[in-house]
């Protein structure tokens, strides 16, 4: 599909004035009074975060109404800010994972910075961190160091391999965890493994951190006490590998790498049409196989062919079956193939590129786009999946580095001279 002339407008946003406010030197408001309460209204999250896993987790919390204060290093900030400049000069990763947050530029290694954190902690419900292994402990921000003084505080630690075991101190990034977790071994072509096109290990860890924090908040409502959440990227990734692991149970061969096709269900994957288009289709049972043969291929006899009369045999003889399907589809356009599949109620999809997703008619029809503020002006953003009619998801601005530092320090009781002293010491950003 061709690229849209401009990003989707979606529903009207209350943040269209953000860019003008920034140009006038005024801070952008972090939240607006919602029409209905959100699930995490009143919850405050302090996050020592960078890259993807922790920011993705805390953005979900912000979507539900939590106040998220993001500590960033003065001058450089979250290093994900520098991954690229694809979104009007902003990083695509940062734009995706950091809306609705307050940026506090604070160097925790400098004199005075720890006092800022100490003043924040009594106001905080959840502390999230994905710093380098051991860094939070050295800063005195472990659950064990904080629990006696802040018994209601929930501490969520996200790391590559967890806080114990021989890999505890090993650095970890998304692709490395995809590799360690076996994902690469079953992804790609027979000749070469491939990584996922999205940061699946980071996303997995971020979502398990998010769900475990919600569980810890529910537990605190019962016990009155905070608890620790320890999320390992490796364990999160391996949980997602359950099917291929059990397929290879007890020494059995693993699923083969099969490109964009399913390794063990066939036909289930991409097929070319006569006009050069690609159609993705999938069959899940024998009833669908018979209908596919009769109404799409026009070859009813194939349903009983001993090479193809069960999924395991279709998978075994996939090359022969693919030749038959491609030959039939060669006389049809992609639209005709999809129409035939729809008529037969066979699941199918287009192989969209990113432009096709931006302009997807289903997302537009369901009004899933809104706009959020940013240092580069308003940007399109997808509304969180699963949001319903009980409340509106929080969709506030992506912060500039240190945008909320002065306001947060004032809230903590720092006067102008105090702030200047912190700046002079390099503890906070200018």
- Residues designated catalytic: 202
The CA distances from residue 136 to 11, 20, 140, in Å, are 41, 38, 6
H/E element, 46: strand 44-48
The CA distances from residue 53 to 94, 165, 172, 234, in Å, are 12, 21, 11, 12
How is residue 114 written in tokens? 């720890």
Output the CA torsion sign for 68, 69, 73, 77: positive
Integer Cα distance of 92 and 95 in angstroms: 5
Contacts of 312 (CB under 8 A, 6+ apart): none
Q: What is the CB-side half-sphere exposure of residue 65 using CA atoms within 13 A?
A: 16
- Neighbour count for residue 14 (Cβ, 10 Å): 13
Q: How many helices (H) and strands (E) does the chain have?
A: 18, 11
């Amino acid at each position: 599909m061709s690229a849209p002339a401009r990003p989707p407008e979606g529903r009207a946003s209350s943040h269209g004035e953000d860019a003008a406010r920034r140009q006038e030197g005024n801070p952008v408001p972090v939240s607006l009074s919602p029409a209905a309460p959100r699930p995490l209204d009143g919850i405050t999250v302090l996050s020592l975060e960078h890259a993807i896993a922790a920011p993705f987790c805390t953005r979900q919390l912000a979507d539900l109404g939590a106040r998220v204060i993001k500590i960033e290093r003065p001058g450089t900030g979250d290093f994900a800010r520098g991954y690229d400049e694809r979104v009007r000069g902003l990083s695509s990763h940062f734009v995706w994972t950091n809306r609705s947050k307050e940026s506090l530029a604070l160097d925790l290694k400098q004199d005075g910075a720890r006092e800022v954190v100490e003043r924040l902690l009594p106001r905080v419900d959840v502390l999230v961190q994905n710093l380098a292994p051991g860094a939070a402990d050295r800063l005195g921000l472990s659950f064990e160091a904080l629990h006696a003084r802040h018994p209601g505080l929930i501490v969520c630690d996200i790391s590559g391999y967890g806080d114990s075991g021989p890999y505890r101190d090993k650095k970890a990034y998304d692709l490395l965890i995809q590799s360690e977790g076996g994902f690469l071994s079953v992804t790609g072509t027979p000749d070469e493994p491939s990584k996922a096109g999205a940061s699946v290990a980071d996303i997995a860890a971020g979502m398990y951190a998010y769900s475990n924090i919600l569980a810890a908040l529910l537990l605190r409502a019962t016990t009155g006490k905070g608890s620790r959440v320890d999320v390992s990227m490796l364990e999160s990734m391996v949980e997602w590998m359950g099917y291929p692991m059990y397929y290879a149970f007890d020494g059995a061969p693993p699923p083969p790498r099969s490109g964009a096709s399913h390794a063990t269900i066939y036909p289930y994957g991409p097929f070319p049409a006569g006009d050069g288009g690609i159609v993705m289709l999938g069959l899940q049972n024998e009833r669908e196989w018979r209908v596919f043969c009769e109404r799409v291929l026009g070859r009813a006899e194939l349903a009983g062919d001993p090479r193809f009369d069960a999924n395991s045999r279709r998978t075994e003889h996939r090359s022969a079956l693919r030749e038959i399907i491609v030959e039939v589809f060669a006389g049809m356009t992609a639209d005709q193939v999809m129409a035939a599949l729809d008529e037969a109620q066979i699941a199918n999809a287009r192989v969209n590129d990113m432009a096709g997703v931006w302009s997807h008619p289903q997302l537009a029809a369901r009004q899933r786009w809104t706009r959020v503020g940013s240092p580069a002006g308003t940007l399109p953003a997808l509304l969180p999946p699963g949001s319903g009619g009980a409340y509106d998801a929080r969709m506030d601005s992506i912060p500039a580095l240190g945008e909320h530092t002065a306001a947060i320090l004032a809230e903590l009781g720092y006067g102008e001279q105090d702030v200047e002293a912190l700046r002079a010491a390099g503890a906070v950003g200018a």
